[in-house]
Structure 1
Amino acid sequence: MSAVSTYPVIERGTPASRISAIAVVVIIALLAVAPHFLSAGAVDRMTALFIYVILAAMWNALAGFGGLVSVGQQVFFGLGAYFAIRLADAGLNPFASLFVSAIIVGAISWPMSLFMLRLRNGEFAIGMWVIAALAHLLVNLDRLVQGETGTSLISLNVYDAGARRATIYWLALAAMTALLAILFGLLRGSTGAAIRAIRDNEDAAASVGVRVTGTKRLLFVLAAFGIGMAGALWLATSITFQPKTYFNVQWTAYMIFMVLVGGIGTFEGAILGALLFFLIETWFGGTGVWYLIGLGATALLFSLFLPRGLWGTLEERFGLRLLPVGYRVRLPANTGDADTTAASHETTAQREKA
C-alpha cells in the first residue's frame, strides 16, 4: 500500500497549458496567412484586434501585475503616432517609422519614470493623466501637426492599398506576438516574481532584496514601448493624425475596460478582454453614445459581481490555466489547491508553524 504524500507539490505547467502552447503556435500560423483569404474589411478589423490585445496586455502588465494603476497611458499612444508622423516627414520609410517611433517613446519613458515612479497609488494615476495632457499641448505647438487640425501619414499613400493593408496587418501581428512573448517570458522568470511581490507589498519586497525601483522602471518602459507601438500602428490604419483623438483619455478607458472584464492580473484575461471588447465594438460600435453607456455599465457590473473578471473567475472556480506565469501549490488530499508565485509559496513546515 503506497503512502499518501503529506507535502505540497509545486507545479507550473499542466496538460492544458502544454496543449494551449501548441494551439497558440497554430493560431499564429493561421493568422499569418489569413490576409490571403480575408476581405479587405476583415483584414482591417483583425488589425484593430491585434492593437487592442497590445493595449490590454501592456496596461495589465503595468497595473495588474505591477500594481501601477495609470489613467494617462494615452500619452504613449499619442506619442507613438506623433513620432511616426515626424519620422516619415523627415524621410524615413513609413513602415520603419512605426517601429522607430515606438523605440523613441520607450526611450522617453525612461527619464519620465525617474520622477513618476516616486508617486504612489492615486498620485501616480493622476500624475500620468497630467503628463498626457501636457504632451497633448506640446504636440499641438508643432507646425507640422497644425494644432487640432492635424496631419496625415501621406507617405503611405504611395503604396498599393492591398499591399499596404496586408503589410500593416503583418506588422501588427508580429508586434502583438513579440510583445506577448516578451511579457510572458518576463513574468515567468525571477523578474516576474519580483514584479508581483512589489505589487503585493512594496516595502516587504524591498526588505528581502528586490530591486523595487529598477523592476518598476523596466515594466514602465516596456508598457510605454508597447503602447507607443500600438499608437503608431493605429495611425497606419487610419492615416490621419489629430492630437485630440490620439491623446484622448478614452484609450486608457478602453484598456481598463478590457483588463477589468477579462481578468486583471491574469495573462489570459487581457487577451480575452481585448477579444470581448473587439466583438462589442464590432456589433454595437455604430450605436453612438449608447455604445459608451453600455461599456460603462458593463464595467460597473463586472466590478460589482465579477471583480476578478471572466478569466479570473474561471481560473478560481475550475483551476483552468492555459498560459501560467506563476506557480501552483497543490496541497495534500482534501485541502484544495492554491496559486502562488516562486517568490511567495510556503513550505508545509511554515504552514504548521503559522
Structure 2
Amino acid sequence: MNTQTPFVERSTRASQAGLVLALLVLLAAISAPWWAERSSQRLLTEILYTLALAQMWNLLAGYGGLLSVGQQGFVGLGGYCLVVLGLQFGLNPFLIVPLAGVVTALVAIPTAAVLFRLRGAYFAVGTWVVAEVFRLIVANTASVGGGSGTSITQTVTGIPAWWRESTTLWLAIALGGGATLAVYWLLRSRHGLALTAVRDSEPAAESLGVSVARMKWFVYIAAAAGCGMVGALIFITKLRIAPEAAFSMDWTAAMFFVVIIGGIGTIEGPIVGTLIYFVLRQFLSDYGSWYMIVLGCVAVAFMLWIPRGVWGLMSSRFDLHFFPVQRRVRFASTQEKQP
C-alpha cells in the first residue's frame, strides 16, 4: 500500500539552479581582472557595493522594521576612516575596510541608544538628524580636511594600479556577496524567525519570548558596520573625500530605490533592484536632472501599484525562491508490502 512520509524541504529546484548560476557568476567576477577592461571592473565594483548597501538597508527596514533615512551617516564615517587611519596612521587602505566596519559599529552603539527612544516617523527623522550631525562634525574638523575635503591618493601610493583595481573588485565581491549570504544565513536561523516576528508585530513577538530590543540593536549595529565598510571601499575608488559627498543623502536614496523596486523583505529583491537601477542609470544618464526625476517617479509608481516590487510579484506568481528561508513540509509516497 502507498503511504505518505513527511519530510522537511530545505531547498527548491530554483535555489539549486541559483546556486550553480551564482558560482559561475562568482568565478567570472573574481577572474575579471584578467579578462575585463578597467572600466568594466569599476562598473562591476559599483554594482556590488550598491548591492551590499541595499542588503543592509533591506535587513534594517525590510526585516527589522526600522525605517532609516540616515544610513549615509555610516557610509561617510567609513569613508573618513581612510583619512584618519590611512593618511594619519599610515595603514593599508584595504585593511581599513574591515576596520571601518568596527569603527562604525562602535559609533552605532550610542547612536542607537538615542534613536531607539523614538518610534515610527520620529525614528526615521532622527536617523537623518544623526547623519547631519556627523557631517557637521566632520566639516568643522580641520584635521580631516574640513568642509572642502581632502585627497586620499596618498593612501594608495606605492600599490601597483593592477593590484589596486583588482583588490578593490575582490573586496566589493566579498561585501556584495557576503552581505547577501549573511542575511540569508541569519534568516535561516532562529534569530531570523525572531527578527521577522518583531517586524510583523512587536507585542506578539514579546508574548512569544522574543527580545525585541536585542533584535533591533543587532540589526542596527550590523547594518551600520556594513555601510561603514562599503563607505571605505567607495572612497578607495574615488581617491578624494569631502563631507558633502561622503554624507550625501544620495547613498540612502539609492538604497531605498533599489530595495523598493526589487522587493522589500526579500533577499532576491535587492539583487534584482540593483540590476534595474544600473540599467535605468545607463539609459537616463544623458538627461541631466531628468534622471533623478524619472527614478523618483518610478519609485512612486512601484509603491502605489507594485508595493512588493519586481521580485515580490514574480515570487508570488511563479513560486520562485532562489534564497528559500522557509522550511516546508512535503510528503513523499512510499510503497509498503502487504503482509
Kindly indicate whether residue 248 of structure 2 is the aligned counterpart of residue 252 of structure 1.
Answer: no
Superposed CA deviations along residues 174-214 of structure 1, whole A, max 9, x for unmatched, are 22222222221111100000000000001110111001111
| Number of residues of Structure 1 aligned to a counterpart in Structure 2 | 329
SS of the residue 2:144 aligns to: coil
**Structure 1 residues 121 and 287 mapped into 2: Cα distance closer, same or farther (>3 Å)?**
same
Shift of 1:117: 2.1
8 Å CA contact 2:8, 2:329 repeated in 1 = yes
Cα distance in 1 between the residues matched to 2:279 and 2:260: 16
For residue 12 of structure 1, report the CA deviation from its aligned partner.
3.9
Question: Per the alignment, do residues 286 and 164 of structure 1 end up closer, same or farther by CA in structure 2, a change over 3 Å counting?
Answer: farther
Alpha-carbon distance between aligned partners in 2 of 1:330 and 1:252, rounded to the nearest angstrom = 41
The residue that corresponds to 2:151 in the other structure is: 152
2:34 matched to which residue of 1? 36
* Secondary structure at the counterpart of residue 48 of structure 1: helix
**What is the correspondence of 1:235-250 to structure 2 with a 5 Å cutoff?**
235-250=235-250
Deviations 1:219-251 (A, max 9, x none): 111111111111111101111101111111121
Structure 1 stretches of 4+ moved >3 Å: 7-12, 327-331
Residue 311 of structure 1 corresponds to 311
Change (3 A) 1:93 1:45: same
SS at match of 2:157: helix
Q: How far apart, CA to CA, are the structure 2 residues paired with 1:320 and 1:330? A: 17
Give the aligned partner of residue 13 of structure 2: 15
Q: What CA deviation, in whole Å up to 9, does each residue of 1:40-93 have, x standing for no partner? A: 111111100011100110000100011111111111111110112210011111
**Alignment correspondent of 1:186:** 186
Cα displacement (A) at 1:2: 4.8
CA contact (8 A) 1:267 1:325 kept: no
In the TM superposition, what is the alpha-carbon distance from 1:9 to its structure 2 partner?
Answer: 7.8
Give RMSD over aligned pairs.
Answer: 1.9
User: Partner residue of 2:106?
Assistant: 107
Q: CA deviation at 1:116?
A: 1.6
Relative CO higher for 1 or 2, CA cutoff 8 Å, sep ≥ 6? 2
Tell me the equivalent position of 2:203: 203
Quick check: 2:198–2:212 contact (8 Å CA) kept in 1?
A: yes
Please tell me whether residue 280 in structure 1 is matched to residue 285 in structure 2.
no
Alignment of 1:117-196 (within 5 A): 117-154=116-153, 155-196=155-196
User: 2:334 aligns to what?
Assistant: none
Q: Aligned to 2:185, what secondary structure does the other structure show?
A: helix
Flag structure 1 segments of 5+ consecutive residues without an equivalent: 332-354
Task: Give the C-alpha shift of residue 14 in structure 1.
Answer: 1.1
User: What is the TM-score of this pair, normalised by structure 2?
Assistant: 0.92
Question: C-alpha distance in 1, partners of 2:76/2:213?
Answer: 26
Q: Structure 1: how far apart are the matches of 2:160 and 2:56?
A: 32
Unaligned runs of 5+ in 2: 332-339
TM-score by length of 1: 0.88
| Distance in 1 between residues matched to 2:294 and 2:6, nearest whole Å | 45
Alpha-carbon separation, structure 2, partners of 1:139 and 1:288? 30
Q: Distance in 1 between matches of 2:330 and 2:249?
A: 42
Following superposition, the deviation at residue 328 of structure 1 comes to: 4.6
Give the superposition deviation at 1:164: 1.1
Give the counterpart letter for 1:252 in structure 2: T
Q: How far apart, in 2, do the equivalents of 1:44 and 1:284 lie? A: 19
- Return closer, same or farther for 1:31/1:164 CA change in 2, 3 Å cut-off: same
Q: Which residue identity is paired with 2:54?
A: A
For 1:220 and 1:8, locate their aligned partners in 2 and report how far apart those are by CA, in whole Å: 38
- Corresponding residue to 1:58 among 43, 56, 59: 56
CA apart distance, 1:252: 0.7
The Cα offsets for residues 123-163 of structure 1, whole Å up to 9 and x where unpaired, read as: 11111000001000001122133322101212213322232
Given that 1:260 and 1:273 are in contact with CA atoms closer than 8 Å, whether structure 2 keeps it comes out as yes
